[in-house]
């Protein structure tokens, strides 16, 4: 298994760079220009726009921009005489904006050396901006996924073994409804319902309308057990779709398993229905679920843009969306890297899980 995993990881390297190259070029090809966006307004002169463009490097040829993002520019523009300006330049011009003064020496090390650069829109390092959002995204995503699986899978099993019953009908309708309702609408309705309609005279309201933590001046965010109330509504919204999907997959898988010979054998041995369903049936029915559990886990990393926006959840999804709108290339590319790695690892995880659960699968 170790050999197989290593081989898959090595194969993923060109895939990863291919994704980043393609995305970078697509991003540059998109209409619009971050400099125009940043300098929109009557107070900026053309010289200042040129200086900003030179600083951000957005006027360089696309290949050079990609190379700089990948490998940094500290080797492209160097200051050898210590005057604070570049004097030894490879690939990049020393005086990029043509104002007669050489640019500052490069100070970026590129993503292959762990430097994701600075945001275009906020004077901050991209890594800092990403890392501070990761915990909130993990918290909401994994809890929602866990609720989705832990509630959806049993519902699917019960719906299958009681096929045609009222329970099966109700859960089927519920699954269709919850997988069809737009997330933003459900979120707003829940906020209205729990925030104002149900508890008009209770102060403070037991259900908070947004955020991850209570609004306090200092002391940070309390441990999760101290702020479960903030999770109830967003987890409900996200998990409801998971419950709908997992329950329908599980039901179909379970129905398939129940037609198998070994289930008939178990019944004929005199085992109880419950033992047969859960011990023999459910375990085998879970195998197909594993195939999309991997990608579901990695989907958590991308955040949930709409849910995070409606519930003011400080996660990655919101940051990613805002960065795309603002053409903040360094932040967008950081998301691409996270997404690429997560997808590659997700499918690898899925394959490994499949092999671990199903003894018929062997690593070759």
Q: Does 176 bind other proteins (CB under 8 A)?
A: no
Q: Does 223 bind other proteins (CB under 8 A)?
A: no
Say if residue 79 is preceded by a cis peptide, omega within 30 of 0: no
Who contacts 285 (Cβ-Cβ below 8 Å, separation ≥6)?
157, 160, 250, 253, 254, 256, 257
| Among candidate residues 347, 317, 170, the one with its CA nearest the CA of residue 243 | 170
Name which of residues 293 to 322 contact other proteins (CB under 8 A): 309-315, 318-319, 322
The smaller minimum CB distance to other proteins, of residues 278 and 347, is found at: 278
Q: Which helix (H) or strand (E) holds 163?
A: none
Contact present, 124 and 118 (Cβ < 8 Å): yes
Inter-residue contact 58 to 35 (CB < 8 Å): yes
Fill in the per-residue mask, 98 to 117: x = in contact with other proteins (CB under 8 A), - = not in contact: ---x-xx-------------
Q: Rounded to an integer, what distance in angstroms lies between the CA atom of residue 195 and that of residue 213?
A: 16
Contacting other proteins within 326-355 (CB under 8 A): 327
Find tokens 């220009």 and name the residue.
33
User: Tokens 């998990």 label which residue?
Assistant: 239
Of 46 and 180, which CB lies nearer to other proteins in the complex structure? 46
Is residue 40 close enough to count as binding other proteins by CB under 8 A?
yes
Binding of other proteins by 260 (CB under 8 A): no
Nearest to other proteins of 7, 196 (CB atom): 196
Binder of other proteins out of 93, 94, 127, 221 (CB under 8 A): 221
Phi-psi label, residue 57: left if phi above 0, alpha if psi -120 to 50, beta otherwise: left
In the chain the first and final C-alpha atoms are separated, in Å, by 8
Is residue 43 part of the contact set for other proteins (CB under 8 A)? yes
Q: Which stretch binds other proteins (CB under 8 A): 49-57, 236-244, 251-259, 342-350?
A: 49-57
Residues near 280 by Cβ (< 8 Å), separated by ≥ 6? 262, 263, 266, 271
211 touches other proteins by CB under 8 A: yes
- Asked whether position 59 contacts other proteins by CB under 8 A, the answer is no
Window contacting other proteins (CB under 8 A); options: 2-10, 187-195, 235-243, 287-295: 187-195
37 binds other proteins (CB under 8 A): yes
Per rule CB under 8 A, is residue 220 in the interface with other proteins? yes
Report how far residue 162's alpha carbon sits from residue 159's, in angstroms, rounded to the nearest whole number: 5
* In the complex, least distance from residue 194 CB atom to other proteins, rounded to whole angstroms: 10
Residue 329 Cβ, how far from other proteins at the closest point, in Å?
Answer: 12
CB of 359 to other proteins, least distance (A): 29
> Which residues between 265 and 284 bind other proteins (CB under 8 A)?
none
CB of 358 to other proteins, least distance (A): 28
Site for other proteins in 143-172 (CB under 8 A): none
Among 51, 58, 181, 255, binds other proteins (CB under 8 A): 51
Nearest distance from C-beta of residue 142 to other proteins, angstroms = 18
Count of residues near other proteins by CB under 8 A = 72
- Evaluated on CA atoms 94, 97, 101, 103, the torsion sign reads negative
Indicate whether 8 belongs to the interface with other proteins (CB under 8 A). no
Q: In Å, what is the CA distance from 4 to each residue of 208, 276, 348?
A: 47, 35, 10
Candidates 174, 210, 295, 339: give the one binding other proteins (CB under 8 A): 210
What are the distances in angstroms from CA 145 to CA 15, 274, 283, 300, 322?
A: 27, 26, 19, 8, 24
Return the number of other C-beta atoms located less than 10 Å from residue 144's C-beta. 24
CA dist 187 → 15, 163, 208, 236, 312 (Å): 37, 32, 12, 9, 11
Closest separation between CB of residue 255 and other proteins, Å?
20
Structure token digits, residue 110: 């590129």
Helix axes 329-357, 283-301, angle to 10 degrees: 170
Q: For other proteins, which stretch binds (CB under 8 A), given 1-9, 141-149, 212-220, 354-362? A: 212-220
Closer residue to other proteins (CB): 128 or 173: 128
């Amino acid at each position: 298994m170790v050999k197989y995993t290593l081989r898959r990881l090595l194969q993923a390297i060109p895939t990863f760079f291919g994704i980043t190259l393609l995305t970078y070029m697509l991003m540059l090809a998109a209409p619009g220009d971050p400099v125009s966006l940043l300098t929109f307004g009557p107070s900026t002169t053309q010289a200042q726009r040129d200086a900003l463009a030179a600083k951000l490097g957005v006027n360089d040829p696309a290949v050079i921009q990609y190379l700089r993002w990948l490998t940094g520019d500290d080797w492209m523009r160097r200051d050898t005489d210590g005057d604070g300006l570049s004097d030894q330049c490879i690939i990049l011009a020393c005086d990029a904006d043509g104002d007669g003064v050489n640019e500052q020496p490069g100070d970026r090390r590129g993503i292959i050396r762990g430097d994701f650069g600075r945001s275009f829109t906020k004077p901050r390092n991209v890594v800092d901006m990403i890392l501070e959002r990761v915990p909130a995204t993990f918290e909401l995503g994994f809890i929602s996924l866990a609720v989705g699986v832990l509630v959806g899978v049993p519902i699917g099993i019960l719906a299958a073994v009681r096929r045609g019953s009222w329970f099966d009908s109700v859960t089927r309708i519920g699954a269709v409804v919850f997988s069809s309702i737009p997330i933003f609408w459900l979120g707003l309705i829940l906020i209205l319902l729990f925030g104002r309609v149900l508890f008009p005279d209770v102060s403070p309201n037991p259900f908070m309308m947004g955020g991850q933590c209570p609004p306090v001046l200092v002391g940070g965010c309390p441990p999760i057990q101290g702020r479960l109330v903030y999770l109830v509504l967003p987890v409900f919204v996200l998990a409801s779709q998971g419950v709908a999907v997992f329950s329908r997959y599980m039901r179909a898988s379970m129905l398939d398993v129940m037609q198998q010979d070994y289930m008939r054998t178990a019944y004929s041995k005199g085992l109880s229905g419950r033992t047969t369903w859960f011990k023999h049936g459910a375990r085998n029915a879970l195998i197909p679920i594993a195939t999309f559990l991997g990608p579901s886990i990695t989907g958590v990393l991308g955040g949930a843009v709409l849910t995070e926006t409606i519930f003011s959840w400080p996660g990655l999804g919101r940051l990613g969306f805002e960065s795309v709108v603002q053409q903040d290339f360094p932040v967008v590319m950081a998301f691409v890297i996270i997404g690429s790695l997560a997808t590659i690892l997700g499918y690898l995880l899925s394959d490994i899980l499949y092999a671990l659960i199903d003894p018929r699968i062997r690593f070759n």
